[in-house]
Amino acid sequence: MAPTKTHTSHSDADPGARGQCLKVCGITELAELDALASAAVDFVGLWHGVPGGAAELELDRWCELAAAARERGIAPVLVSFSSNLEELRQPLERCEARWVQLHGYQTPGAVRAIKRIGEDVRVIKVLHVRGEGCVEAPLVRSYERAGVDVFLLDAVAADGRVGSTGQTLAVEVARALAEQLERPFLLAGGVSAENRADYAALHSHRWFIGVDVDTNARGEDGKVDARRVAAISAAWKPALGAGASDAQ
């Protein structure tokens, strides 16, 4: 049985209207969803189309967890490295999901095609920062024209790995990249309960809407830890207290 909802579901909300929101990525178990629900998490990243990924889910399991997330008031996000339209279409349509996060180097054309899956589909496109530059910087305007709804700023590991690396994103680099955007953005890359103050320069940015965490939400066993998630939520969502905005 699902726990009592602790906040309002945002599966149909405009992220820009919510202020600071929290997304936790790489969930594979129902117990982890319970931990997120208790900490007023807004979005949960569920992996499908991440070959070899530690949190990769088969389609049936993806749908099961997506439905369970909605029952707990959390919006499921399809996190994928895929550019295969049919592979992306299946969970969005079959599981009645709305959000897709493109965590890879998909083209603006791929974004445009995904948006045509349905009028309610919302795309989060990761912008990969390597050193002091963004790999996709020349394509930002093209992504915006293609229909990206939210950008996610994340750091690339020294060996080229992307996604859930725990690498910290330099605040000055993130700020410079944010100045190039005309869409809301989430901040990832080593976000924790302890380093909110380090990103003070981003808190007041007109397009900043919240953070995305994975590594720092986990305990030593690799599973999402309720206390760690609660601490991150308390640090990054102070204005929202124990609950999130009710914007629909």
Task: Give the CATH number of the domain where residue 99 resides.
Answer: 3.20.20.70
Residues of the chain with pLDDT under 70: 1-19, 157-166, 238-248
> What is d(CA 142, CA 137) in angstroms, rounded to the nearest whole number?
10
The encoded tokens of residue 145 equal 């024209």
Total length of the chain:
248
Give the pLDDT confidence score for residue 208 in this predicted structure: 93
Q: Is 246 part of any domain? A: no
Q: Is 241 part of any domain? A: no
Instruction: Indicate the residue type of 36.
Output: L
DSSP state of 41: -
> What is d(CA 225, CA 228) in angstroms, rounded to the nearest whole number?
5
Average pLDDT, the chain: 85
**Whole-prediction pTM:** 0.87
No. of helices (H) and no. of strands (E), the chain: 8, 9
> What is d(CA 73, CA 131) in angstroms, rounded to the nearest whole number?
37
Q: Is 245 part of any domain? A: no
Q: Is 105 part of any domain? A: yes
DSSP state of 62: H
Q: Is 247 part of any domain? A: no
Give the pLDDT confidence score for residue 241 in this predicted structure: 40
Q: Is 10 part of any domain? A: no
Q: Is 9 part of any domain? A: no
> What is d(CA 117, CA 237) in angstroms, rounded to the nearest whole number?
33
Q: Strand 122-130 relative to strand 133-134: parallel, antiparallel, unpaired? A: antiparallel
Q: By the 8 A CB rule, do 65 and 30 touch? A: yes
Q: By the 8 A CB rule, do 34 and 68 touch? A: no
Domain that holds residue 50: 17-235
Give the pLDDT confidence score for residue 163 in this predicted structure: 52
Q: Is 97 part of any domain? A: yes
- State how many domains the chain has: 1
